[in-house]
Structure 1
């Protein structure tokens, strides 16, 4: 029988199990300081064309979203999201639990637009009582969106340009990023995502891994102490090599996109 409830009803790509079994009794340092995490980081940096990018490995999507958003925002800031965004309705108030408000905007087929982001910022900045309000501090979007729609390169370029002009870091939720990149309708590449986002993550849980998400920070200065934020959030896996092995396998050649194309 086939089930269609979600895209993580099975275990993982066989290559990951094979590599885990092959390395099972190897002894390596913990907390992501092992050779497998190092290899995975290098393969991801090569894939995005940014040798200086910071790469961190977390376990799941909600954990990743809340940890990244918490790491970026000041305590009086909120995150702009489409009203259908995953952080709004399907994360059990994880963002609000960190003390931050989700500032929702209407979307078109689940997508934000540069115009609506700028209007949101202007509404705050031009309000005489803005010092009494939650300040927009970043922008969150998903690719693909929660409704299955895809951003075009021109749309993301416009959003990225507005975010950078207004000083709003752009965070792209990539839980299903591989599906978007592998779609016949897509005109975006992984390198484009890395160029246009200030932070994004490469989803593993839904794209062939047992578990795991790889957070990429193209300019590490944006999150200089992110590992400490991860630790404080309970988001550091002691046996970090289990994440490194999986992403090293996913980024061995074209496996990540190949898996995504047949998801």
Structure 2
């Protein structure tokens, strides 16, 4: 069964594997204080056009989120997230385990706006409530939608007016940047739009690893102490450094994001042709088609997908996700199989 479940089922981009093989017997300094990690940081700063940011390589997204959030918030401070936000739905209470409440906000498209955040601030008005201090968003979101540059500018301006920090989860940031006709985002925009963000590698061609970018000066001091306490400093840190060195050569990172989107297009076109509605308009490498239950069952007998929700008693919403390594022949096979399946519906 071919899998469209996620964008991290494959190993790593060949450039990364070659680079790791070439330095396999080289001796490197430990704990991310090596020449490869230093080089990767400089490459990222160059792409961001900002040499003032601090960059830390952390093995995974959940570990990045909990390490960062636990570092910047006081015990009585909370995070505002959409109800579908990764920290609210797929991190097993990792943020709450650090002592910080996640306040979920209902949305129609997985995106926060100032108008949706304002009632949270109005509700938490005194010391009898946790105090909202951080606004968390993902771009792309967990339901495949994207924030535009203008939307992020508005959110950040709102946060600054209300003494809130603004943090962007960039697990699939490459896809948001590659979908620039929708987002109007570039790498140099990112440090201007938030207090911190991370550049996801795990879902964009790396074996593992995320690059956390600290923009706000208040976050930088002693951050490695918090990393160490949370098990986020890898002894063989150069392995992540080498990977990000490769991802940030010749625009490979964004090109892999574009490739993952291109792999999705035949699936999206097949669903549109068949009149299958989507949960939300999603211009990147994740889409959420809503099928009659019988059709969803047929698909899941031959292909692996992720269950998203039941919009009603007769329909099932599935997530399809493609990656830089998604097999083009498998995509063609699915389209052919799908066209046969709908003939009997």
TM category, shorter = over 0.9
Residue 156 of structure 1 corresponds to: 152
How far apart, in 2, do the equivalents of 1:41 and 1:118 lie? 36
Q: How does 1:83-94 map to 2 (within 5 A)?
A: 83-94=83-94
Q: 1:220 to 1:247 in 2, by over 3 A?
A: farther
Identify which of 183, 203, 210 aligns with 1:206. Answer: 203
Residue 248 (structure 1) aligns with: 245
Q: What is aligned with 1:9?
A: 9
Q: CA deviation at 1:118?
A: 2.7
Q: Which runs of 5+ in 1 are unaligned?
A: none
Secondary structure, in 3 states, of the residue corresponding to 2:2? Answer: coil
Look up the match of 1:68. 68
- C-alpha displacement at 1:193, in angstroms? 1.9
Shift of 1:108: 3.1
- Any residues of structure 2 matched to 1:1-263 within 5 Å, and which? 2-125=2-125, 130-183=126-179, 184-263=181-260
User: Does the CA contact (< 8 Å) of 1:48 and 1:190 recur in 2?
Assistant: yes
User: How far 1:186 sits from its partner (Å)?
Assistant: 2.3
Structure-1 separation of matches of 2:143 and 2:190: 19
Q: Which structure: larger Rg?
A: 2
* TM-score, length basis structure 2: 0.73
What secondary structure, in the 3-state scheme, does the structure 2 residue paired with 1:262 have?
A: helix
Q: TM-score, normalised by structure 1?
A: 0.96
Query: What corresponds to 2:266 in structure 1?
Result: none
- C-alpha separation between the residues in 1 aligned to 2:78 and 2:164? 11
- Asked if structure 1 preserves the Cα contact closer than 8 Å seen for 2:7 and 2:203, the reply is yes
For the aligned residues, what is the CA RMSD?
Answer: 1.1
1:26 CA drift (Å) = 0.9
Q: Identify the range of structure 1 (5-14 vs 99-108) with the bigger mean alpha-carbon deviation.
A: 99-108
1:136 aligned counterpart, secondary structure: strand
State the shift of 1:153 in Å: 1.4
Query: Are the equivalent residues in 2 in contact too, given 1:143–1:150 (CA < 8 A)?
Result: yes
1:219 is displaced (CA, Å) by 2.9
Corresponding residue SS for 1:192: helix
How many equivalent residue pairs?
A: 259
1:124 CA drift (Å): 1.9
Cα deviation 1:45-101 (Å, max 9, x = unaligned):
011111111000000011111111111110011101011101111111111111110
Partner SS state of residue 132, structure 1: coil
Indicate conservation of the 8 Å contact 2:202/2:210, yes or no: yes
User: Which runs of structure 1 show a deviation greater than 3 angstroms over 4 or more consecutive aligned residues?
Assistant: none
Q: After superposition, give the CA deviation of every residue in 1:216-246 in whole Å (9 maximum; x if it has no partner).
A: 0123332311111110001110010001000
Is the partner of 1:110 in helix, strand or coil? coil
Question: 91-100 or 1-10: which moved more?
Answer: 1-10
Give 1:185 shift. Answer: 2.1
Shift of 1:121: 1.6
SS in 1 for 2:205: coil
In 2: Cα distance, 1:191 partner to 1:81 partner:
25
- Of structures 1 and 2, the one with the larger relative CO (CA 8 A, separation 6+) is 1
Shift in Å at residue 113 of structure 1? Answer: 0.2
Quote how far apart the aligned CAs of 1:116 are. Answer: 1.8
